[in-house]
Amino acid sequence: MFVLIVGCGRVGSAVAKAMLAQGHTVSVLDEDPEAIAQLNKGQAESWEDLGGQFTEGTALEIDALLQAGIERADAFVASTDGDNTNLVIAQIARRRFEVERVVVRVLDPARAKWYSDQGLQTVCPTQIAIELLEQAVSGQAPFEGVTG
Amino acid sequence: MYILIVGAGKVGWNLARELIDKGNEVTVVENSSRRYQVVEEELEHRIQSGDGSELWVLERAGIERADLVIAVTGDDEDNILISQVAKEKYGVERTVARCNNPRNLEHFELLGVKPAVSATDLILRLIEHEVPEYGLVHLLDLPTERLEIIELEVGTASPAVGKRVMDLGLPDGSLVISILRDGGGFVPAGDSVVEAGDEVLLVLDTGLEADVTGRFAPQTEAA
């Protein structure tokens, strides 16, 4: 599977590494050329030596998306630090490039909910934190030491 | 009419003034608290502070009863999403969005956000009107109908001079609808002859402009 990940922060880079380790073809797009450092961190070889692709460019620029290989993408992850950017590029990936699986990170639970009702697969870290905290506070999630 | 404006920059603030003067009920939403304080001195209760792409902020500003939502922040993504949510979630009848970077216009269209207003584009249009290349002026664009009406000046060196309209070799999907000459105008027949100094009005399918212009532009000698 060809996976295109836009936004190479903590989340995007971790997902990219995991997908590459699983044997997928992975391409990452970020506007910051230094972001590739996140992909090299903690790896025995550099991201590109491991077979990963990295493109510097702005998510809304069609040329950058094309260069990063969106036309070949089977899966698309929008994980920049902007909810609105993520929601716009995810819709571009789906409607214009007809990428089969599109996943969007949205921090705002209200927008995540509404867009998921519209058929966009959203992942809302805030909502997940709320649920985990709720469980922990009410004693449903026993503390088993620090993980991760 | 109840109008919600998101973004209190120069555009949003001035729009608010004009629309209030015309007797509309207006609420402006501004994200930057500094900007909010400046504009609040004039608009008072008609401006609210908050991120206009958050649903609760829009709801607090009364988006559900808005007749018109105008998204004029400096961020194209925000303007797209605000308009999309206004229309699709809250059923707002009319939206107008500002497109800051004309390269993003295609995204606005793709996501059904229209009309999108691009200042750069408008200025380019004006320049085109004032300094026409080959004397070409866009009189009317009908993007939905995929038609446009243009006006071309026929220079003395134009290959069209002395030709009958039927012999111009215009592509299918284009039609000369009138010729303006010596302060008057007429609807030409196929055998009307084009003269230097004429202004020719044509209606054409979108995309034929270059082809049509080529029939009137002087050929470059270099070839």
Residues in B closer than 8 angstroms to A110, CB to CB, are: 54-56
The whole domain housing A39 covers 2-137
Of A82, A91, A114, nearest to B89 by CB-CB distance is A114
- pLDDT at site B131: 65
Same domain, yes or no: B207 and B137: yes
Instruction: Name the band, by pLDDT with cuts 50, 70 and 90, for residue B207.
Output: confident
In a domain, B221, yes or no: no
Residue B162, classified by CB atoms within 10 Å of its CB into exposed (0-12), middle (13-18) or buried (19+), is: exposed
- pLDDT at site A142: 77
In chain A, the number of structural domains is: 1
- pLDDT at site B27: 97
CA angle A42, A46, A50 (to 5 degrees): 105
Q: Domain holding A37: CATH number?
A: 3.40.50.720
Same domain, yes or no: B62 and B106: yes
**Which portions of chain A are predicted below pLDDT 50?**
none
Residues in A closer than 8 angstroms to B106, CB to CB, are: 62
In a domain, B223, yes or no: no
> Given a cut of 90, is residue B188 above it in pLDDT?
yes
Residues in A closer than 8 angstroms to B107, CB to CB, are: 60, 88, 92
The model's pTM is: 0.75
DSSP string, B34-98: HHHHHHHHHHGGGEEES-TTSHHHHHHTTGGG-SEEEE--S-HHHHHHHHHHHHHTT--SEEEEE
Report DSSP state, residue A128: H
Of A62, A84, A95, nearest to B77 by CB-CB distance is A84
Q: Do B110 and A108 touch (CB under 8 A)?
A: no
ipTM of the shown complex:
0.86
- Which position has the higher pLDDT, B134 or B199? B199
Specify the amino acid at residue A92.
I
Of B55, B80, B103, nearest to A88 by CB-CB distance is B80
A91 touches chain B (CB under 8 A): yes
Tally of CB atoms within 10 A around B57: 17
In a domain, A109, yes or no: yes
CA angle A100, A104, A110 (to 5 degrees): 130
In chain B, the number of structural domains is: 2
Same domain, yes or no: B105 and B191: no
In a domain, B222, yes or no: no
- pLDDT at site B124: 74
- pLDDT at site B20: 96
- pLDDT at site B151: 87
In a domain, A85, yes or no: yes
- Asked if B107 contacts B79 with a C-beta cutoff of 8 angstroms, the reply is no
Nearest CA in chain B to A58: B104
Q: Domain holding B209: CATH number?
A: 3.30.70.1450
- pLDDT at site A50: 93
- pLDDT at site A54: 97
The pair phi, psi for residue A27, each rounded to 5°, is -125, 135
The verdict on whether omega for the bond into residue B115 sits within 30 degrees of 0, i.e. cis, is: yes
Rg value, chain B, Cα: 23
- pLDDT at site A70: 97
pLDDT per position as a tens digit, B135-179: 677 777 787 788 888 888 888 888 999 999 999 999 999 999 999
Same domain, yes or no: B156 and B78: no
- pLDDT at site A139: 87
Instruction: Name the band, by pLDDT with cuts 50, 70 and 90, for residue B26.
Output: very high
CA–CA separation, B134 and B47 (whole Å):
47
In a domain, A148, yes or no: no
Q: Do B104 and A111 touch (CB under 8 A)?
A: no
Q: Domain holding B86: CATH number?
A: 3.40.50.720
Query: Which pair of structure tokens corresponds to residue A19?
Result: 């997908």
Q: Do B78 and A84 touch (CB under 8 A)?
A: yes
Domain endpoint, select from B74, B91, B118: B118
